[in-house]
Structure 1
Amino acid sequence: MVQGLAVSYVRVEDVERISPRMLRIGFSGDALASLMEDRPDQQMKLCFPRAGQRVPRLPEPDAEDTYGMRWYEAYLAIPEPERPLMRSFTVRSYDPGSGLMAVDFVLHGDDGPATRWARTAGPGDVAGMVGPSSAYARPLPRAGHLLLAGDESALPAIGTILEALPAGARVTVCAEVADAAEEQRFDSAAEVTVCWVHRDRGASLLDAVRSAELPQGDTAGWLAGEAGTVRALRRHLVEERGLPRSAVEFSGYWRRALTQDDAPTEEDLAWAAERAAETP
């Protein structure tokens, strides 16, 4: 396979509600053992069946490319009424012993395709998966102190990062959730300070990061969540806190009032170009 990218099927084995607005679904799949890596923040895409389908229709492999960079062209070639609905996720965990991959689903109020599917998912249900691939992995910036900031969509990645950090690492986490019931417990050998930001109390992630005590000159940032908020956080860290651009890793997981089915805005394209320019 080119660049280690794969398109495969995964099957639901169990479903657990870990908070009022988040489900953890355990998947099995024939390809998982060869795809999962021992690293945090593994990104992939899940494909959900259209109405009337039990199993999503996935792209056919290109004989000359075999799921390299052309998989998306093959995906778009599927007639729209049959084309699976696709969303991006982070692998929360993978257990080599059981062969199960855990993925956390935020139950958004907008009732999008991932939320609709997850709310009724049960053992035996099938989704498609694209990736994950180490070719798209971005290493954490190195520093004596790490800031992790994001909303609930970033909690799975934050959890994997914290679990991977060694003893002695110093971390500040700023996590925005709907209310206190959405807080999670993270395990880590690192020295971790967590600030939970509750929207029902009028708090914001940007204000929490602005108020956070961060060591001068030896801090790096990892930011993820709603794209507009991530942009504002990055500007704050670079322009107001003086962090080098290379010390701030950032990802816009979703866009307010838009979905992954919508065309990127001019700001999205400019941001993507800047991100690509900074990739080593």
Structure 2
Amino acid sequence: MSTAAPFRFFSLQVVRTRRLGPSLVRIAFAGPGLRDFHSDGLDQSLSLFLPHPHQDEPVVPVTEGDDWWRSWMALPADVRAVMRSYTLRELRRGADGVTSEIDVDFVLHGVEPDATAPAGPASRWAAQAAPGDRVLLIGPAVADNRAIRFRPPEDTDLVVLWADETAVPAASAILESLPPGTRAVAWLEARHADDVQELTVAADADVTWLVTGDEASPAAVDAIRAARLPDAGHPYAWIAGEAGRMKELRRHLVKERGLDRRRIAFVGYWRQGLTEEQLREQGE
């Protein structure tokens, strides 16, 4: 008896875009294959492939297993699709149970007229995305999969969250899913004050937004170190964002706060100075 592969390629098109703030755009994608997209996670990780400006669709050799990676890397850099990792913001099923859409939030860097650094290919694509634009995605075909990291134990009596701007979509989904009565404390980063989002949270949550400006800020560690956490017997922490800062926060939670390291989920979404391809090559 064959076992379903946990991840597969999905061919999708943009159906809507909505600016959430100066640095954020939410893009809704749809495609008939999404009927086979399944996820029970709140921080579901995805790999998105985007076309270059001169292409109508992303170029990815879709092969069985993991062979696509080697075939994709063998293509010229200006031919192979731009690959970036994102988290699922929302999955919606239509009334027919088949029609589906997913939302992905993009952080835009360097697209402003007065930007001091050039925009990367993903930011340029997202800033100009329009209905009908085609992308390719590697996503989950199995609802419970290894790309889900938020897994608080049943005895958790306090949820602690930190997310830089790249991880805010996942943290927002987590906060909005927590049931009433759940105690939570969260620090979420935004580049500009207008990027701060209104979240619908039923839990007993204390959410602090940290406006960082144009550069990554050490304010997160300072803010958490200065904060008084609610008393809890079994806290659980989820921290995600730039790998170096995430490690610093994890060290603080373990050594200074006394949290059990086994009850901390930490996810390095990116690393200062490295591209997505370089990060993946290090993990090979």
Classify the TM-score, shorter chain: 0.7 to 0.9
Counterpart residue type for residue 175 of structure 2? L
Q: Report the 3-state secondary structure (helix = DSSP H, G, I; strand = E; otherwise coil) of the residue aligned with 2:222.
A: helix
Q: 6, 25, 29: which one pairs with 1:4? A: 6
Cα distance in 2 for partners of 1:246, 1:203 equals 25
Q: CA RMSD in A?
A: 2.3
Secondary structure at the residue paired with 1:152? coil
Superposition pairs for residues 18-37 of structure 1, below 5 Å?
Answer: 18-37=20-39
| TM-score for the superposition, normalised by structure 1 | 0.86
Aligned to 2:145: 135
Pairwise CA distance, 1:144: 0.3
Query: Cα offset for 1:261?
Result: 2.6
Q: Deviations over 1:231-274 (max 9, x none)?
A: 10000001111111111001111122322133579xx76xx9xx
User: How far apart in 1 are the matches of 2:191 and 2:128?
Assistant: 22
Residue 47 of structure 1 corresponds to which residue in structure 2? 49
Partner SS, residue 223 of structure 2: helix
Task: Kindly indicate whether the alpha-carbon contact (under 8 Å) linking 1:176 and 1:204 is maintained by their aligned counterparts in 2.
Answer: no
8 Å contact kept, 2:22–2:192: no
1:166-205 deviations in Å (ceiling 9; x for gaps): 1211110101222321111111221111111122497711
Q: What corresponds to 2:69 in structure 1? A: 72
Stretches of structure 1 that go unaligned for 5 or more consecutive residues are: 63-67, 273-280
- Which residue number in structure 1 is paired with residue 227 of structure 2? 212
Gaps of 5+ in 2: 111-117
Aligned partners of 1:12 and 1:28 also within 8 Å = yes
Change (3 A) 1:181 1:203: farther
Q: Does 1:153 align with 2:161?
A: no
Aligned residues: 263
Letter in 1 for 2:206: T
1:150 Cα deviation from its structure 2 partner: 1.1
Moved segments of 4+, more than 3 Å: 68-71, 77-81, 200-203
The residue number in structure 2 matching 1:115 is 123
Distance 2:82 2:248 in 1: 29
Distance in 2, Cα, partners of 1:26 & 1:223: 26
Q: Secondary structure at the match of 2:253?
A: helix
Structure 1 contact 7–58 (Cα < 8 Å) conserved: no
**1:2 & 1:50 partners in 2: Cα distance?**
32
Question: Taking structure 1 as reference, are residues 81 and 198 closer, same or farther at Cα in structure 2, changes over 3 Å only?
Answer: closer
**CA distance in structure 1 between the aligned counterparts of 2:75 and 2:190, rounded to whole angstroms:** 37
The one-letter code sitting in structure 1 at the alignment partner of 2:105 is: D
**What residue number does 1:102 align with?**
103
Q: Distance in 2 between matches of 1:209 and 1:87?
A: 29
Shift of residue 160, structure 1, vs aligned partner: 1.2
Give 1:116's aligned amino acid: R
Distance in 2 (alpha carbons) for counterparts of 1:254 and 1:38: 24
- Whole-angstrom CA distance in 2 between matches of 1:59 and 1:187: 40
Q: TM-score, normalised by structure 2?
A: 0.85
Secondary structure in structure 2 of the residue aligned to 1:39: coil
- Residue 57 in structure 1 maps to residue 59 in structure 2: yes
Seq. identity, %? 37
Q: Does structure 1 retain, via aligned residues, the 8 Å contact 2:178–2:202?
A: yes
Structure having the higher helix fraction is 1
